[in-house]
Structure formats: C-alpha cells, structure tokens
Amino acid sequence: MNDTRMEESASAAPQGGLRAMLGSIFTGDRVLWIIIAALAVISVLVVYSSTAKMAYDAHTARSTSHFLSQQLAILLLCIPVILVVHKINCRVYNRLALPVYVISLLLTLAVYFIGATTNGAARWIPVLGFQFQPSEALKVATILLLARQLASRQSRIDRIRLVPSLNPFKWRTPEQRKIWREGTLPILLPVGLACVVIFPAHTSSALLVFMTSLVMMLIGRVQMRELLKLLGLAFCALLLAGLFNLGRSETAAGRLSTWVDLWTSSQVEKPIDELTDTERSMIAIHNGGLLGEGAGQSAMRVEMIHPESDYAYAFFVEEYGILLAAVLLILYLWIFFRAREIFVRCGTAFPGLLVLGLAMMITCQALLHVMVTVNLMPETGQTLPLISRGGSSVLFTTIALGMILSVSRQNDEHSHDTPRSESIYER
C-alpha cells in the first residue's frame, strides 16, 4: 500500500513541477493566454492558405512555405517579447510613456520623408530588410501616454476643461491659459498630434486612435460637454480635410462612394471582373456557409487583392465556415471582457485605463475589419489583429496584450501602487 502511494507521489511530482514552472512563466490572466495562443494558431492557418495568390504571382517567385516561414518567424519573435513585456511593472510603463510617445511620433513623421510608399501612402521604414510601420507603435504609445495623463489628474479631472476658446485673441486671459495648461496641452495635444501624423497615411487608424482616446476620456471622468466639443471639432476637421483634399481624403471619398453605391444600386448585372474586393469577400462568406469549404479550398483567395490581410476574416469564413468564424469573433470580444475584469480589480487609474484602452483598440480594430468584409462599413484597410499577415501589426498587438497581462499579473500579486489621488473610483 505504501509502495503504491510512493509511486503515485513520484508520478505526480513531475507533473506538479511542470505545472508550477509554466505557471511561473505564463503569469497573469490564464484565459487571455489561451486566447492569444488560439489566435496565433489561426494566424498560421490563414497566412499559409491565403498567400497562394502571392506564391503564384510571377513577380514574387516564392512558395506559400516562404510566407508561412515569415509569419512563423514573426510569431516566434513575439513569444519572448510578450514574456518580457508582461513581467515589467506598470510603474515602468508609466515612466516610459512620454519618451516612447515622442520617439514613436518622430518615427511616424520620418516615414513621410524616408519611408516606402504603397498605394500613394507612405507607411513603412525599411529596417534590416524588414518593413517597419511606426504608426502601429504610435497607436500603442498614444494609449499609454493618455492613460498616464488621465490617471495623474483623477483628483480634479471632473473640473478640468480640455477645449480652449476658438478665438485666439482670448488665449492670453488667465482662464484660457489655465485650460491650455491643465487640459489642452497635457491631455488633448498628444491625441491630436498622433491623429494628425497618422491621418495622411492611414485615415482609419487615426479615427481608431481618436475614438479609443475619446472612450478612455469618458471612462477617466472627463466632462461630457468637453467630449461633445471634441466630437464637433473632429467632425469639422474631417470636413475640412475632405474639402481641401488633405491626406488620403480622395481615396476615402472614393471608398465611401463605392460603399454607398453597393447599398443603393443593383449589382446583378455587374461583370465579375468589375467586382470590388468587398463584393468578393461577401461571395467568399456565402461560399463558406456554416461549415466552410475546407482548409486550402478557398476559390476567392486568388480574386481578392489582399486576402491575407485586409480581408482575412472573409477568407477564414470561406474555408472554415460561419460557425468557426463566430468563435473567432467571440475571441476578440472575449479579450475586451477579460480586460474589463482586470480593470475592475485595479486599485489605481493608470493600469485600469491602460488595460481598457489597449483592449478597446484591439477589439474595435477587429470589429472594423469584420464590418468591412460584410459591407457594413467602407473599406478601411484595417488588418485582423494577430491574424493578418504583417510584422509591425502583430508585434505591437503582442506588446499591447503583454501590457494587459502585466496589469493582470500585478493584480494577482497585489503589487500596484495605491495613492488616493489616482483612484479612478474617487468621486
């Protein structure tokens, strides 16, 4: 009897030791770790099959294995990145928020002078043979800095005004100087600069940053009337950009016109070669049905321009069906709900706002991507986070998820600082 117990203890010891070792490495929210792993696996399946068109292109002369190996290399690089990022204390992120933001802003500006241009937009900087997209870093950096600025002002945030008078001659008055000093410069300016810098190359990304920042301000208890003023100013800025054809306004207007045309006119008689990518994506979704055509059996992947990035969700539906595609969509929504649980457990404003801001950005980007594939929105060029082919997007999505896991880990360890002035629940 004793020998049997000793054998059971000996067999259980290695299992317990392995579990403890994995638990010490992958700390934080375990459900979120599972979601990340699932998305990474789906990314490999999508990229391998969707790049068939690129492989058959005479100009590339590369096989699907080449593109698969690239994606695998990126995902393997992201493993040590997320492990390191989620072990860093939030206090470090708080201190690094401003320098990281400034560097990201300058790099994004540099793209317009030394970057590679695609479809009339400068987006990448060649680095050691890779295409680095600094606007992806700026998106994360803006959320990081905004979380810091809102958190440090929680004791008086409901009394701070963000939008100064539109009359420049009044800016010298004490009241207006106070608005500039307390709200406009520290809170509004970083968001505005990021949106202005991103806008010429990627209009939808600028809008994503703005809307995420706006929701963060709402959660951070900024006055509602100030937020309404910001919405009004943003709407006027978009009208002016369209009027003077700033940035990619012409491209955006064309996409909007195409979207309206698809809803308002009959497309029955349109020749196949004149179909838009959005129409092809809807055909792919129709072909997929409930269970899909099967892995590698997509017919529309050779018809769409970028099935591996801009229309990855439609391609996934065609091969794996609506049921699995619904599970994929739930995974993105689950990221936000897990972040909300982490937010509720935070004792201070900075980690809570950081978690919600990053999760909203990831989930909203995924929803934008999905809405485009079913023609609920004009084409945006937004990729499917962590799944679509691409280096910078996958890398900085991983970093954002690592930061969320960092906050979760500190919640478990009860290692957050809790100064009363930073409590987001203080009224």
Q: What is the mean pLDDT of residues 79-100?
A: 94
SS in 3 state form for 207-234? HHHHHHHHHHHHHCCCCHHHHHHHHHHH
Alpha carbons 400 and 354: distance in angstroms, whole number? 9
Q: Hey, where are the domains in the chain?
A: 29-139+249-422
Task: Measure the CA dihedral 234/240/241/242, to 10°.
Answer: 110
Question: Using CB atoms within 10 A of its CB, is residue 157 exposed (0-12), middle (13-18) or buried (19+)?
Answer: buried
3-state class (DSSP) for residue 388? coil
CA dihedral of 420, 421, 426, 427, whole degrees rounded to 10 = 140
| Mean pLDDT of the region 309-315 | 82
- Give residue 2's pLDDT: 53
| Confidence category of residue 14, pLDDT binned at 50, 70, 90 | low
* % pLDDT > 70, the chain: 84
Whole-number average pLDDT of the chain: 83
- The helix, strand and coil proportions of the chain, stated in percent and rounded to the nearest 5, come to 70, 5, 25
Q: Residue written as tokens 């500006």?
A: 109
Q: Does the pLDDT at position 60 exceed 60?
A: no
Which range scores top for mean pLDDT: 105-114, 321-330, 390-399? 321-330
Among 116-130, 163-177, 335-349, 407-421, where is mean pLDDT lowest?
A: 116-130
More confident residue, 350 or 26: 350
What is the mean predicted confidence (pLDDT) over 143-155?
Answer: 94
Task: State the DSSP H helix or E strand holding residue 177, giving kind and residue range, or none if neither.
Answer: helix 174-179
pTM above 0.85, yes or no: yes
411: exposed, middle or buried (Cβ count in 10 Å: 0-12, 13-18, 19+): buried
Considering the chain, what percentage of its residues have pLDDT values greater than 90? 44
CA atoms within 13 A on the CB side of 382: 27
Rg (CA), the chain: 24
Give 427's pLDDT tier (boundaries 50, 70, 90): very low
pLDDT band for position 210 (cuts 50, 70, 90):
very high
Q: How far apart are CA 80 and CA 88, in angstroms?
A: 13
Q: What is the pLDDT of residues 355-364, one digit of tens each?
A: 999 999 999 9
pLDDT tens track for 185-208: 999 999 999 999 998 888 889 999
Give the H/E segment covering residue 302: none
Closest CA to 220 of 144, 142, 164, 146: 146
pLDDT at 15: 61
Query: pLDDT, tens digit, for every residue of 221-236?
Result: 999 999 999 999 999 9
Nearest-angstrom CA–CA distance, 209 and 104: 14
For the cut 70, the answer to whether the pLDDT of residue 419 exceeds it is: no
**What pLDDT shows up at residue 96?**
94
pLDDT of residue 421: 44
pLDDT of residue 65: 73
Higher pLDDT, 152 or 15: 152
With a cut of 70, say whether residue 132 has pLDDT above it: yes
Q: What are phi and psi of 87, to 5 degrees?
A: -95, -10
Mean pLDDT value of segment 308-318: 83
φ, ψ at 67 (rounded to 5°): -70, -35
